[in-house]
C-alpha cells in the first residue's frame, strides 16, 4: 500500500517563509509561530549526485541522492530511483514516494524517494 | 584587547599512524610546539584541545583533561573544543580571545584526530553525523555527497570544469611530495587520472561529478601552537607571528535551505571579518591555506575570500596563479588534499603551515619568498561554520 509522505514542513505565520526541517525561530523574520504544512504538488529536481563510498549501514554498491522542491516550495532530500545520474537533469519533474531508505537495528527507516515522471 | 602572537608551532606527520594512540599524537605535537616556543620546563596557563571524534571513534571523552595530566601541565585550565572539521580553528579562536582579554598569558592550542583505526565505512559514517539527523543523515548522504551536489551546481553556475578541478588536484599532490608532514606523498600524472582509458580505473567517480583524486584522504594526525601577548613574544628570538585578524560565521545546517546553495556566505563573512580586523585586502595576502577537503572547495573558497572574482577561480588554478610564484599561492602544504584531513587537527595544521611560511623556515620548493601575510579558511560541516585567520610576520 502506498504510504503518505510523512514530512511536515513549517510555514511562518508572520512572513510566510517555508522551513524544512523545523526551526524554533523563522530564518527570515525570527517569528516563532508556524503553520504545519505537507509537501504538495509537482516536484522539481534541484541537485543530485551518486555516491560510491557509502557510510556504515548501507549494504549496496552506490546510492543516488538529490534535493527536490515541491510545488508549495518545500525542499527536501531523498534517494532517487534511477540506475545512473545520466538519467537525471536539474529541473526535471519527479514523482515522490515514502519508502524504506535504510535499515537500522533490523527495522526499516522510511523516507523520501524520487523517480523521474517519465 | 591585547595583540596576540604565535611563538611556537609543531606538527607530526599525518597519515595512517597505527602505532600511536590519539593521546600520544596530541602529546607529540604539543611537545613540539612547546619546545619551539622555548618554554622549557615552564607550564602554560591554559590548553584548548580540538577534537571531533574521540568520543565516537576512541570511546574517550574529556581529552583535554587527560592531555594536561600526561604533559605535566597541571594545574593549567583545559578545555576540549568540538566544532566538526572547524574544531582546530575554533580552539585557536578560544585561545586567542583568552589571551587578548588579558585573562591568560600563555596558551597551548592543539588539534588531533585518529580516524584510521576504524573501517572506511565507519569513518564515513562518523563524518556524516554532521549532517541533519532527520532531513539528511537517514538517506545515506555523506560529506563527499554534499560536495558532489555542490560541484555540479557550481560547475553549471560558474563554469568550473573537470580540467579546473584537476589543476587543483595535481598542484596539491605535487606539493604533498615536498612536505614531509603530508599523508599523501604521491604526485599524480595527468594522463593516469584524466586523459587515458586507465583513468576510469585509477580515478573512479566517488561522489559524482567528483572523482577519487578530488577528495582528501582520511587521516590520523595532530598539530599545535603556543600563543602569548605580542609584547611578550617580541622578547623571544624567533620572529613572532601576529594573529592580525580572525572571523567566524555560520550558515544553514542543510544546503537545501540556502537561497543559493553555491553561495558560501559563511566563507565570505569569516574572511571579510578577518581581513578587516587585520586592515588588509585579499590582494595583500602572500600565501593562503584553504580548506580543500574537495578540489571544488579550493576554487570556490578562493573566489569567496576575494582572491578571484566568481567564475575566475577555476581558470586561475588552471593558469598556475595559485602555485608557488603565482598571484596567490594556495595550499603549498598540499592542503587537506595531500597533507591529509584528521578533522580536529586541520584548522591548527593550516595555521602551523602559515607560521612556517611567515618565519621563512620552509625549503625553497615550498617557501613564498619574503612572505609577510597569510590567510586560512577552516570549513566546518558543509560551510555551516567557517573560521578564517589572517596572520602577519612581525620582525623581532
Which residue from A21, A76, A102 is facing B140, i.e. has the nearest CB? A102
Does an H or E element contain A76, and which? Answer: strand A75-80
CA distance B104 to chain A (A): 37
Give the whole-angstrom CA distance, residue B48 versus residue B91: 5
The answer to whether A8 contacts chain B (CB < 8 Å) is no
Compute the Cα dihedral for B187, B193, B199, B203 and give only its sign: positive
Average pLDDT, chain B: 97
C-alpha angle B102/B387/B378, rounded to 5°? 125
pLDDT tens digit sequence for B178-236? 999 999 999 999 999 999 999 999 999 999 999 999 999 999 999 999 999 999 999 98
Residue B321, CB-side half-sphere exposure with 13 Å CA sphere: 18
Percent of chain A at pLDDT exceeding 70: 99
Nearest residue in chain B measured CA to CA from A112: B139
Which pLDDT band, with edges at 50, 70 and 90, does B237 fall under?
A: confident
Give the whole-angstrom CA distance, residue A66 versus residue B290: 27
* Kind of pairing between the strands at A18-19 and A9-12: antiparallel
Give the pLDDT score at A118. 72
Compute the Cα dihedral for B285, B291, B297, B301 and give only its sign: negative
The answer to whether A106 contacts chain B (CB < 8 Å) is no
The grid coordinates of residue B267 equal 566563507
Q: What is the mean pLDDT of residues B74-95?
A: 98
CATH code for the domain defined by B4-119+218-233: 3.40.47.10
Which residue from A49, A63, A76 is facing B256, i.e. has the nearest CB? A76
Q: What is the mean pLDDT of residues A69-92?
A: 97
Q: What is the mean pLDDT of residues B280-309?
A: 98
Give the pLDDT score at B320. 98
Place of cell 595527468: B190
**Where is average pLDDT lowest: A114-118, B62-66, B98-102, B160-164?**
A114-118
Give the whole-angstrom CA distance, residue B30 versus residue B24: 10
Compute the Cα dihedral for B119, B121, B124, B128 and give only its sign: negative
pLDDT at A2 over 90: no
Contact state of A101 with B140 under an 8 Å Cβ cutoff: yes
pLDDT at A1 over 80: no
Which residue from A27, A51, A78 is facing B145, i.e. has the nearest CB? A51
CA distance B321 to chain A (A): 30
Which pLDDT band, with edges at 50, 70 and 90, does B386 fall under?
A: very high
The answer to whether B255 contacts chain A (CB < 8 Å) is yes
Give the pLDDT score at B178. 98
The answer to whether B138 contacts chain A (CB < 8 Å) is yes
Q: What is the mean pLDDT of residues B257-262?
A: 96
Which pLDDT band, with edges at 50, 70 and 90, does B249 fall under?
A: very high
Size of interface A-B (CB pairs under 8 A): 107
pLDDT at A89 over 90: yes
pLDDT at B157 over 80: yes
Contact state of A75 with B256 under an 8 Å Cβ cutoff: yes
Give the whole-angstrom CA distance, residue B257 versus residue A89: 20
Give the pLDDT score at B40. 83
Contact state of B124 with A56 under an 8 Å Cβ cutoff: yes
pLDDT tens digit sequence for B104-129? 999 999 999 999 999 999 999 999 99
The domain segmentation of chain A, as residue ranges, is: 40-116
Contact state of B128 with A55 under an 8 Å Cβ cutoff: yes
What is the three-class DSSP state of A75? strand
pLDDT tens digit sequence for A42-67? 999 999 999 999 998 898 999 999 99
CATH code for the domain defined by A40-116: 2.40.50
Give the pLDDT score at B297. 98
The domain segmentation of chain B, as residue ranges, is: 4-119+218-233
Q: What is the mean pLDDT of residues B313-317?
A: 98
Give the pLDDT score at A26. 98
pLDDT at B396 over 80: no
Give the pLDDT score at B393. 97
Residue B203, CB-side half-sphere exposure with 13 Å CA sphere: 23
Contact state of A54 with B142 under an 8 Å Cβ cutoff: yes
What residues pair up with A9 in beta bridges, in sequence order? A37
Give every strand in the sheet of B4-11, ordered side by side.
B77-81, B46-50, B107-114, B220-229, B4-11, B241-250, B385-393, B373-380, B287-289
**Where is average pLDDT lowest: A28-42, B160-174, B187-201?**
B187-201
The answer to whether B178 contacts chain A (CB < 8 Å) is no
Give the pLDDT score at A14. 98
Contact state of A49 with B254 under an 8 Å Cβ cutoff: no
Contact state of B135 with A76 under an 8 Å Cβ cutoff: yes
Contact state of A52 with B128 under an 8 Å Cβ cutoff: no
Round the CA-based radius of gyration of chain B to a whole number and report it: 19
CB B227 within 8 A of CB B350: no
- Phi and psi of B178, rounded to 5°? -100, -5
Sort residue B373 into left (φ over 0), alpha (ψ -120 to 50) or beta: beta
Amino acid at each position: 500500500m502506498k504510504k503518505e509522505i510523512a514530512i511536515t514542513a513549517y510555514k511562518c505565520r508572520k512572513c510566510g517563509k517555508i522551513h524544512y526541517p523545523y526551526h524554533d525561530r523563522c530564518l527570515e523574520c525570527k517569528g516563532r509561530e508556524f503553520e504545519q504544512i505537507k509537501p504538495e504538488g509537482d516536484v522539481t529536481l534541484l541537485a543530485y549526485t551518486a555516491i560510491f563510498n557509502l557510510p556504515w549501514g548501507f549494504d549496496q554498491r552506490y546510492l543516488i541522492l538529490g534535493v527536490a522542491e515541491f510545488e508549495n516550495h518545500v525542499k527536501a532530500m531523498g534517494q532517487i530511483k534511477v540506475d545512473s545520474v545520466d538519467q537525471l537533469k536539474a529541473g526535471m519533474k519527479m514523482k515522490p514516494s515514502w519508502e524504506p531508505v535504510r535499515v537500522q537495528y533490523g527495522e526499516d527507516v522510511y523516507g523520501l524517494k524520487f523517480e523521474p515522471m517519465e | 584587547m591585547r595583540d596576540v602572537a604565535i611563538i611556537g608551532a609543531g606538527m607530526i606527520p599525518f597519515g595512517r599512524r597505527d602505532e600511536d594512540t590519539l593521546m600520544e599524537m596530541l602529546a607529540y605535537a604539543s611537545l613540539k610546539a612547546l619546545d619551539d616556543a622555548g618554554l622549557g620546563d615552564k607550564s602554560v596557563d591554559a590548553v584548548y584541545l580540538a577534537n571531533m571524534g574521540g568520543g565516537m571513534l576512541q570511546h574517550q571523552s574529556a581529552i583535554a583533561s587527560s592531555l594536561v595530566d600526561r604533559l605535566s601541565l597541571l594545574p593549567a585550565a583545559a578545555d576540549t573544543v568540538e566544532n566538526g572539521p572547524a574544531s582546530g580553528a575554533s580552539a585557536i579562536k578560544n585561545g586567542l580571545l583568552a589571551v587578548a582579554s588579558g585573562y591568560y598569558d600563555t596558551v597551548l592550542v592543539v588539534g588531533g584526530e585518529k580516524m584510521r583505526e576504524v573501517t572506511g565505512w565507519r569513518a564515513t559514517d562518523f563524518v556524516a553525523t554532521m549532517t541533519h539527523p532527520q532531513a539528511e543523515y537517514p538517506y545515506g548522504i555523506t560529506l563527499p555527497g554534499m560536495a558532489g551536489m555542490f560541484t555540479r551546481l557550481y560547475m553549471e553556475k560558474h563554469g568550473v570544469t573537470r580540467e579546473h578541478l584537476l589543476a587543483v588536484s595535481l598542484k596539491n599532490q605535487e606539493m604533498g611530495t615536498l612536505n614531509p608532514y603530508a599523508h599523501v606523498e604521491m604526485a599524480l600524472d595527468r594522463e593516469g587520472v584524466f586523459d587515458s582509458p586507465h583513468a576510469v580505473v585509477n580515478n573512479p567517480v566517488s561522489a559524482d561529478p567528483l572523482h577519487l583524486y578530488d577528495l582528501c584522504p582520511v587521516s590520523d594526525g595532530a598539530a599545535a601552537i603556543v600563543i602569548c601577548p605580542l609584547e611578550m613574544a617580541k622578547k623571544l628570538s624567533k620572529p613572532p607571528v601576529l594573529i592580525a585578524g580572525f572571523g567566524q560565521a555560520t550558515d544553514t545546517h542543510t544546503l537545501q535551505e540556502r537561497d543559493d546553495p553555491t553561495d558560501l556566505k559563511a566563507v565570505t563573512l569569516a574572511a571579510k571579518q578577518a581581513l578587516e580586523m587585520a586592515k588588509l585586502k585579499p590582494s595583500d595576502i602572500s600565501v593562503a591555506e584553504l580548506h580543500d577537503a574537495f578540489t571544488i572547495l579550493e576554487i570556490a573558497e578562493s573566489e569567496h575570500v576575494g582572491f578571484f572574482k566568481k567564475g575566475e577561480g577555476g581558470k586561475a588554478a588552471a593558469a598556475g596563479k595559485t602555485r608557488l610564484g603565482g598571484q596567490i599561492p594556495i595550499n603549498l602544504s598540499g592542503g587537506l588534499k595531500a597533507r591529509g584531513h584528521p578533522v580536529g587537527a586541520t584548522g591548527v595544521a593550516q595555521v602551523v603551515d602559515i607560521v612556517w611560511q611567515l618565519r621563512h623556515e620552509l625549503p625553497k620548493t615550498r617557501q613564498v619568498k619574503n612572505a609577510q601575510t597569510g590567510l586560512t579558511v577552516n570549513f566546518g560541516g558543509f560551510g555551516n561554520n567557517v573560521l578564517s585567520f589572517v596572520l602577519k610576520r612581525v620582525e623581532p
